[in-house]
Amino acid sequence: MSGRKKGLIIAGGVVLLMIATVFAAVLLFDINSYKLKIETAVSGATGLDIRIKGKIGLSFFPLGVSAKDILVANRGSEILSMRSLKLRMEFMALLKKQLNVSACELVSPAVTIVKDTDGKFNFEDIEVKSPQERPEKAFGLSDLKLSKGSLVYLDKQTGKKTELKEIDLAVRDVRVADTAGSIIKNISFTGSLACKELTQKDLRIENLKAPVKAVRGVFTFQPLTMDIFGGKGEGELTADETGSDPEYKINFKVSKLDFEKLQESFGIKKMISGKGDLTAVLTIKEKGRTLIKNLNGTFSLRGDHLTTHTVDLDKILTAYESSQQFNLVDIGAFFIVGPLGNVALQGYRYGNLLYESQGGQGTIVQFISHWNIKNGEADAADCALATLHNRIALMGKLNLVNQRYEKVTVALLDHKGCAILTQTISGPFGHPQIGTANAVESLAGPVLDLYRKAKRFVQAGRCKVFYDGSVEQPR
């Protein structure tokens, strides 16, 4: 036998011996005896209270470690619970007495985020007791998986609760370029995200899916798809965390949404039914703890051949002269409740309008509710509807930051787009004023007698055009 062959045999024997030694160590080593030390070390490095209530296990093929029933808390408030955590390690690195984690899997993680009445989150004010244990150089994972996860977000300032269920995340080539800085701003990866259900009060979104990509703090979800308002939603979302003020961009469209489902999502009884399209192009900058103040973009809701329930608008509009009683702003609620939801209807009894008692059913031939938003103020750019015989438009602004109506006016139009009859709503969302009357009194009790006021707005010959948008006058 040649010396070369002998050398290969000896080298192979040494490798097998090392493998056998590691294998024996895995079998004989009781890692659970070090559980307390592991909890203390990880808690010190993260500043969080880490508890491993289940067993810690070691595996050989592939080489890895797992832990069951993990709890993570901050100052007594639970942030995360997890059924199990699995880490895969590099074998060759272990032979060199180095611990390199190459893959991570989280099974059934349940995240709870709470913002208290002072605006602080339950994961803030973390005290890192052992900062020296944090890695000082770039690191990465070949695979990161999260399965059957859930997230609950509770805002105690507003009382709103958002829940995400059945979250699955699978990403690869995870790299953190500089751990000395923010991990969010230095992480990069590619993968996919799926969420079975997202709920917030009456709003329900299902089958949310998107490929996800992160490049040094810029996260892109494209195409982002979901089932929402009885229709199909598709678009993209970009979150830029690189600057001092994070920026979020949304470009989204819901095709063939169900108006009835849209109203249900805002907790409103059925007033309109039919199909339509909703589009949103928004940019949000997170300065401090305020989002609405830095909201810019457009909202638009369109629909044709819709049905109004409990009221025939043409019958009501045609008979206003003989009845001399009517609230025009009631119809204006249709525009406001569209893309903006019930945020501007807090003190407005939409769905419990006076003319609901009139009975009947009507037709909206064409409907559009288009708003331009700048610094949290929504401007009615094109808000109008046409029935079989009448056309109504809305102008004005909604101050979403200060929660106020700003000179919102609803008008019944003639064929020139001039106002035949107008009515205004202004003041705080919670206590709006309709003309000189209180909104609650005029809507729940006696209505305004607008017929006498209408004569002021009817002009012969020339008139000031109130509306010249895309909704045409009925023939």
DSSP class per residue in 447-469: PP--HHHHTTT--SS---B---S
Please answer whether residues 346 and 374 qualify as being in contact, where contact means their C-beta atoms are separated by less than 8 angstroms. no
pLDDT tens for residues 325-350? Answer: 556 777 777 777 666 666 666 555 55
pLDDT at 238: 95
DSSP helix/strand/coil, 130: coil
Helix/strand/coil for 333: helix
Residue 320 lies in a domain: yes
Task: Tell the burial category of 124 from Cβ atoms under 10 Å away from its Cβ (0-12, 13-18, 19+).
Answer: exposed
Q: How far apart are CA 187 and CA 279, in angstroms?
A: 31
85: in domain: no
Residue 20 confidence (pLDDT): 53
Q: What is the pLDDT of residue 468?
A: 93
Residue 442 DSSP label: H
Q: Given this model, what pLDDT does residue 214 score?
A: 92
User: At 355, phi and psi to the nearest 5?
Assistant: -75, 0
pLDDT in tens, 136-148: 555 677 888 999 9
Give CA angle at 408 (407, 413), nearest 5°: 120
| Least confident segment among 113-127, 388-402, 434-448 | 434-448
* Geometric angle at alpha carbon 465, from 461 and 471, rounded to 5°: 120
Query: How does pLDDT run across 63-105, given as a tens digit for each residue?
Result: 778 889 988 888 778 888 999 988 887 655 555 555 567 788 8
E-assigned strands of 156-274?
A: 160-176, 187-200, 203-215, 218-228, 231-240, 247-258, 272-273
Q: Has residue 99 been placed in a domain? A: no
Contact 401, 426 (CB under 8 A): no
Question: Could you tell me the pTM of the whole model?
Answer: 0.77
Q: Tokens 């209180």 — which residue?
A: 438
What's residue 384's pLDDT? 94
- Is residue 61, in this structure, part of any structural domain at all? no
Number of structural domains (the chain) is 1
Residue 119: its pLDDT value, please?
A: 75
Contact call for residues 314 and 412 (beta carbons, < 8 A): no
Q: Over 60: is that where the pLDDT of 10 sits?
A: no
Task: Count the Cβ atoms, other than its own, within 10 Å of residue 109.
Answer: 21
Question: How far is 85 from 69, CA to CA, in rounded Å?
Answer: 8
* Dihedral class, residue 461 (left if φ above 0, else alpha if ψ from -120 to 50, else beta): left
- Between the alpha carbon of residue 64 and those of residues 86, 99, 101, the distances in Å are 7, 10, 8
Cβ pair 450, 421 in contact under 8 A? yes
Cβ burial 223-233 (10 Å sphere, 16+ → b, else e): ebebebbbbeb
Residue 19 placed within a domain: no
What per-residue confidence (pLDDT) applies to 453?
A: 45
∠ CA(274), CA(280), CA(284), 5° rounding?
150
- 144-163 residues labelled b (16+ CB within 10 A) or e (exposed): bbbeebbbebbbeeeeeeee
| Biggest CA-to-CA distance, the chain | 117
Instruction: Note whether residue 5 is domain-resident.
Output: no
pLDDT band at 323 (very low <50, low <70, confident <90, very high): very low
- Establish if 133 belongs to a structural domain: no
d(CA 333, CA 111): 38
Q: Is residue 269 part of a domain?
A: yes
Q: Who wins on pLDDT, 178 or 466?
A: 466
31 by Cβ neighbours in 10 Å (0-12 / 13-18 / 19+) ranks as middle
pLDDT in tens, 186-233: 889 999 999 999 998 888 999 999 999 999 889 999 999 999 999 999
Is 50 exceeded by the pLDDT of residue 278?
yes
Q: How many Å apart are CA 393 and CA 106, to the nearest integer?
A: 53
Among 32-46, 179-193, 246-260, 355-369, the range of highest mean pLDDT: 246-260
Give the three-class secondary structure for 55: coil
Q: Do 242 and 275 touch, CB atoms closer than 8 A?
A: no
**Which tokens sit at 226?**
């979901």
The pLDDT assigned to 445 comes to 32
Residue among 236, 144, 222 at smallest CA distance from 187: 144
Residue 118's region, left for phi above 0, alpha for psi from -120 to 50, else beta, is alpha
Range of the domain at 435: 229-475
The DSSP code for 92 is H
22 pLDDT band, cuts 50/70/90, is low
Mean pLDDT of the chain: 78
Give the whole-angstrom CA distance, residue 412 versus residue 390. Answer: 8
* Contact present, 395 and 383 (Cβ < 8 Å): yes
In what helix (H) or strand (E) does residue 383 lie, and over which residues does it extend?
Answer: strand 377-387
